[in-house]
Amino acid sequence: MSFHANRHVSLSLVCSVCLLAFAARPVADAAQGQKAALVTVIADAKAPITDLTARDFIVYDDNTKREVTTAERSMDPLSIVLLVDIGQPPMSTMPPAQDLRASFGAFVQVVRANNPGADIALGEFANASVITVDFGKPADLDDKIAKLYPDQPTGGVLLEALADAGKRLMGKPAPRRAIVSVDFSSPELSGEKAMRPAVQSVHDCGATLWAVSVRGTTVTDAIREEVLNQITKANGGQRLTVADASGLRGGLTAVANSLSSQYIVTFARPSGSPKVTRFETTRGAKVLLSPFMR
């Protein structure tokens, strides 16, 4: 079997474990014969979606439509770990410092405006992963974002940063935990050995992962791509790709608006254990199920 095939089997097994386990996490007490789930309604860069009611949600267990009894915007505390790639760009390319500062600044502003009390930490990664601003330090966060500068050696340990972020979130209130990462087309230095810890850490803390990647036409690292794609798919987050750093502000603002569009939806489930539960809205907005449901 080839190296690539071995890696694919290893990651598939890890992600299968996550998919099976995610559904067991509690979000709130629900009456007998009902389930309550934390869901994210996907918004764009214009504004969050905050006016939905039970009549706007549609829930299916496999192919069976369920009655939605309540739907309320979640006011639970929101905790976020921001991860930023600070590796140097290729020679003759200007470091995207201004784009990083403007986009992360806009993200934080939108989150705070729509989620009073939101707690945000910041981690940086290049050839090492470091939490540079811990939770509970909003002034330090603003100051650090205003000084972001990609000046470290090219290459990044994003997978190690994901593992660190998951551990950091374990001590924060459930269910609204999120990791938001920004990476460029730097080589993934973590290696295959870091795949399982990254996936397991995000799974253990029940966080949704929102990965915004600057790609353009550059060939990217297969290990990093697989992990980002699989984790976002498995846990109710989203993968966004932009062509260059100028697209980061729109991407991160859309993520901030989506995290501000989270609801607790309660629906009837008389019996049974469906293979798939999916959510829709009558307005056509996409809905993602988080790891937390009771």
pTM here is: 0.90
Between the two ends of the chain, the Cα-to-Cα distance in Å is: 41
- Of 37, 22, 52, 58, the closest CA to residue 232 belongs to 22
DSSP 93: S
| Length of the chain, in residues | 294
Residue 92, pLDDT score: 58
**Residue 160 amino acid letter:** E
Decide if 41 contacts 51 (C-beta within 8 A). no
Cβ count near 137 (within 10 Å): 15
Going from N- to C-terminal start, the domains of the chain cover 1-294
User: Across residues 73-84, what is the average pLDDT?
Assistant: 97
Report the percentage of the chain scoring pLDDT > 90. Answer: 77
Q: Which is it for strands 34-41 and 262-268: parallel, antiparallel or unpaired?
A: antiparallel
Cα separation values, 292 from 38, 175, 227, Å: 6, 6, 21
Decide if 110 contacts 256 (C-beta within 8 A). yes
Q: Which CATH architecture has domain 1-294?
A: 3-Layer(aba) Sandwich (3.40)
Report the percentage of the chain scoring pLDDT > 70. Answer: 87
For the stretch 201-246, pLDDT in tens is 999 999 999 999 998 766 678 899 999 999 999 999 999 999 999 9
For the stretch 146-160, pLDDT in tens is 999 998 877 899 999
For the stretch 166-195, pLDDT in tens is 999 999 999 999 999 999 988 899 989 999
Instruction: Select the more confidently predicted residue: 190 or 272.
Output: 190
**Residue 104 amino acid letter:** F
